[in-house]
Amino acid sequence: MSLTVTVLGATGSIGRSTADLLAQHDGRFRVGALVGGRDAEALAKLAREMRAEFAALADESAGPALRDALAGSGIASGAGESAVLEAAAREADIVVAAVSGAAGLKPTHAALRLGRTIALANKESLVCAGHAFMRDAARYEARLLPVDSEHNALAQALGDGRVSDVAKMTITASGGPFRTWTRERIQAASPSEAAAHPTWSMGMKINIDSASLMNKGLELIEAHHLFAIEPERLDVIVHPQSIVHGLIAWRDGAVTAGLAMPDMRVPIAHCLGLGDRLTIERGRTLDLAAAGSLTFEPADEARFPCLRIARAALSEGGAAPTVMNAANEIAVAAFIRGEIAFYGIADVVERACEHFAAAYRSAPADVDEALAIDAHVRAWSTEALPPVRAAG
């Protein structure tokens, strides 16, 4: 009997990797619904290839184009928030939640409320509303499976072990394109330089977060919620080869680690398999002798202040991570447009965290409250953007 899979964020990098795996195991899975952003042609092509039952775009204005592109296919379609939520609520055994940013909160939570198994790639769901998500996952008996390579590696390394026996959980960072750059050179970096990730092929915004190490800060917050572990038992280490993805140090001194070639199909396959191991065609096998050496170095929070800011938000708790994420999305967009320099991202985020520290002390009670805080902080951060232009 085949499993029904819904993919939220089907046209992004995670969605494409998921599509590749589903195609490789065609008899094992069928596709219930696909959700994209605004690219009607790309979503329609994917829906036809995967024989999806329903396709939806977040951009309501792209609805007619999607309908035309699917004409004669028998695939139902829709556009706008209601259509996206309809897709998320359709019957499915596994929902791959890969919509980027805070936009992924509502559809991911809609699936969670129905008790679905969620293969979670949208880390913002836990960054912005982690308390509410984990509470509701327990309430509705939903299962959260981590797709991020770091958290998936931690989950596999943890196995049947108890979190109470863990001395420290460590996620790794490639170091991004600026790992060896001076602070002065980083400050003058262009958006294209910041987006040139040395290891992973991701979207523009995620690449920028990787360059600033904000991505690692978001992942620390995600790990805190996923594993119910205190901030002081979480850490980040830079590992340029991106082969070791997560390490667990046990209180008896032993260390277990999750290793794999940098291929997002590995953690996605682990989630889709639901306990079984799926074969990955054209997958690169890890050969440690060929790799030669694996190196590690501490994360430099002086050159990468976004990591320091994220750690502080995690320690502060409440709505601090919600505020931080909203300000970061505005600041990264401004950097991409060339309106601020690279370190302007950290400046905007830190100012927002300080400004809203007293206003939002409690964690959002639900997704609607998280999105209301998100909207408020976005508006303030947009007004607060400094008049600094990026070099290059």
Q: What is the pLDDT of residues 360-374, one digit of tens each?
A: 989 999 999 999 999
In a domain, 116, yes or no: yes
Kindly report, residue by residue over 297-343, the tens digit of the pLDDT. Answer: 999 999 999 999 999 999 999 999 999 999 999 999 999 999 999 99
Asked if the model's pLDDT at residue 289 lies above 80, the reply is yes
Read off the pLDDT band of 204 (50, 70, 90). Answer: confident
In a domain, 96, yes or no: yes
CB 203 within 8 A of CB 12: yes
CB 104 within 8 A of CB 82: no
In a domain, 92, yes or no: yes
Read off the pLDDT band of 392 (50, 70, 90). Answer: very low
As for how many domains the chain has, the answer is: 1
What span, in angstroms and rounded, lies between the C-alpha atoms of 275 and 260? 18
Give the orientation angle of helix 214-226 with respect to helix 149-158, to 10 degrees.
Answer: 40
Kindly report, residue by residue over 27-67, the tens digit of the pLDDT. Answer: 999 999 999 999 999 999 999 999 999 999 999 999 999 99
Q: Report the pLDDT averaged over residues 144-154.
A: 97
Grouping H, G, I as helix, E, B as strand and the rest as coil, residue 311 is helix
In a domain, 137, yes or no: yes
What span, in angstroms and rounded, lies between the C-alpha atoms of 140 and 113? 6
Higher pLDDT, 129 or 199: 129
Asked if the model's pLDDT at residue 4 lies above 70, the reply is yes
DSSP conformation letters of 186-242: HHT--HHHHT--SS----HHHHHHHHHTHHHHHHHHHHHHHTT--GGGEEEEE-TT-
Read off the pLDDT band of 225 (50, 70, 90). Answer: very high
Contacts of range 133-141, beta carbons closer than 8 Å, 24 or more positions apart: 133/108, 133/109, 133/225, 133/367, 134/225, 134/228, 136/109, 136/112, 137/112, 140/112, 140/113, 140/114, 140/115, 141/115
CB 116 within 8 A of CB 91: no
What span, in angstroms and rounded, lies between the C-alpha atoms of 147 and 14? 9
Angle at 179 (CA atoms; ends 258, 214), nearest 5 degrees: 70
Looking only at the bridges linking them, the beta strands covering 255-259 and 244-250 are antiparallel
Give the distance, in angstroms, between the CA of residue 48 and the centroid of all CA atoms in the same chain. Answer: 26
Q: What is the CATH number of the domain that holds 55?
A: 3.40.50.720
Backbone angles phi, psi at 168, to 5 degrees: -160, 140
What span, in angstroms and rounded, lies between the C-alpha atoms of 78 and 152? 33
In a domain, 233, yes or no: no
What span, in angstroms and rounded, lies between the C-alpha atoms of 90 and 16? 21
* pLDDT value of residue 100: 86
Residues 6+ apart with CB under 8 A from 149: 245, 246, 260, 262, 264, 266, 267
In a domain, 303, yes or no: no
In a domain, 81, yes or no: yes
Q: Which of 205, 227, 197, 207 is nearest to 103 (CA)?
A: 205
**CB atoms < 10 A from the CB of 357, how many?**
15
Q: Report the pLDDT averaged over residues 73-86.
A: 97
Read off the pLDDT band of 164 (50, 70, 90). Answer: very high
Grouping H, G, I as helix, E, B as strand and the rest as coil, residue 96 is strand
In a domain, 45, yes or no: yes
Look up the domain containing 130 and give its range. Answer: 3-147
